[in-house]
Amino acid sequence: MTQLTEQAQPYPPAESDPETRRAAAAARASAAATGAAAAGLALAVLAAVVLLLWVVSPFPDSGIGGALHLGASVWLLAQGADLVRDDTLSGVPAPIGVMPLLLSALLGWLLYRGTASAVASSGTYRSAGWVLSGYLSVAALVAGYAARGPLRVDALSAAVCVPLFAAAATAAGAWAGSGRPPLERYVPWGADAAVALRSGGIATGVLVGGGALVGGTALAWHAGAAGRTFGQLSAGLAGQAAVMLLCVLLVPNLAVWSAAYGLGPGFVLGAGRTVAPDGVSAHPLLPRFPLLAAVPGPGGHGAGWAALAVPAAAGCALAVCCVRARLGVRSTALVAAGGSAVCGLAFGLLAAASGGAMGTGALGAFGPAWWSCAAAATVWPLALALPTATLISWTRTRPSPLPPPPPYPPTPPLPPH
């Protein structure tokens, strides 16, 4: 893929002759096909996995149509659309809104790479729009196919969330395909804004990475209970493989939930049941699922306070990024505050995407509250990085005191007369 050395132009050259028009039409068709291929590739892989599990299942009573319908529904779920299950024991439709974030990352990466390639090849941002249109055309067909059945997609959430998800990945791909132009080309304070974005992103990565460490430690501590749930959920090899695959797709969700636990607000397991370092409120009987086996029991746990090291590490990482930028005192303070805001916004979005409903009533809320996590992810780095980085910048840039004047040499004695 040829990288652009200059900024991509917002408009293509004028189409003055038939050959130019044909070339422009071919470029548009190629970009739209790239978007459709990005959607189709993920759909094909997901459908192949679902069909394989259906074939080896000892009770394939749903039929091949039901298996394909499930794959399409999960594909939409990974982009933020809610699912609705109608065949419940109570007869009340039950929503399903927990996104498998690992699958979401795969879908976003495919669309990002396709858009970057199309923009780099054509030299214009307009190709990103055609990639997006091709992707959304496939998404509309899939949403129409998955809108009926015992497990159906909610049309309103699909119409809102899927285009937003695709637009974000496409915008990132267009920026990458145009050579990643720096922000200072567009705004006078772009250099400081770039440092704030980078430092906030690093702090968010430290938060999620520390959450993964906390969640992995909890799973290892409860390895016996987590292992027993596989046999309790399904006795067949196909069923246990499906449970394992679902666990893998939800590993980033576990990392975000554990990071929210370390930040302080924690996360909820059903309506009004909070899991936080200061204690775990009594929660209902949880579904037998391996990742939920890592949830501590009701009551306070002294080891939970060790998770507070995760946001402290994120604040230290933000401070290091600000100090290494070697800015002035005022710029360092602004960058630290901006990076903290970026960290809060990014983690708030992750918290909102990682949770959702798993049913009605007590199962109507799972995961962290995005607003409290966004506030905590802003306050922690701000409280740690802002004074530290500003003080270091001040000591580095303050004028050194003038050295004392050298002593006058002693007056030589007068010669004798």
Q: Report d(CA 99, CA 80) in Å as an integer.
A: 6
Partner residues linked to 9 by β-bridges: 124
- Contact by Cβ (8 Å): 20, 13: yes
Partner residues linked to 85 by β-bridges: 94, 151
Instruction: Decide: helix, strand or coil at residue 194.
Output: helix
Phi, psi dihedrals of residue 345, rounded to the nearest 5°: -65, -45
Q: Dihedral angle at the C-alpha atoms of 47, 51, 57, 63, nearest 10 degrees?
A: 100
- For residue 378, how many C-alpha atoms fall within 13 Å in the half-sphere facing its CB? 15
* Tens-digit pLDDT profile for residues 209-247: 999 999 999 888 888 888 887 767 666 676 778 888 889
- Contact by Cβ (8 Å): 22, 195: no
pLDDT at 17: 72
Find the farthest-apart pair of alpha carbons in the chain and give their distance in angstroms, rounded.
128
pLDDT at 234: 65
pLDDT at 373: 95
Helix, strand, coil shares of the chain, percent, nearest 5, are 65, 5, 30
Partner residues linked to 124 by β-bridges: 9
- For residue 98, how many C-alpha atoms fall within 13 Å in the half-sphere facing its CB? 25
Low-confidence ranges of the chain (pLDDT < 50): 1-15
Enter the pTM of the model: 0.87
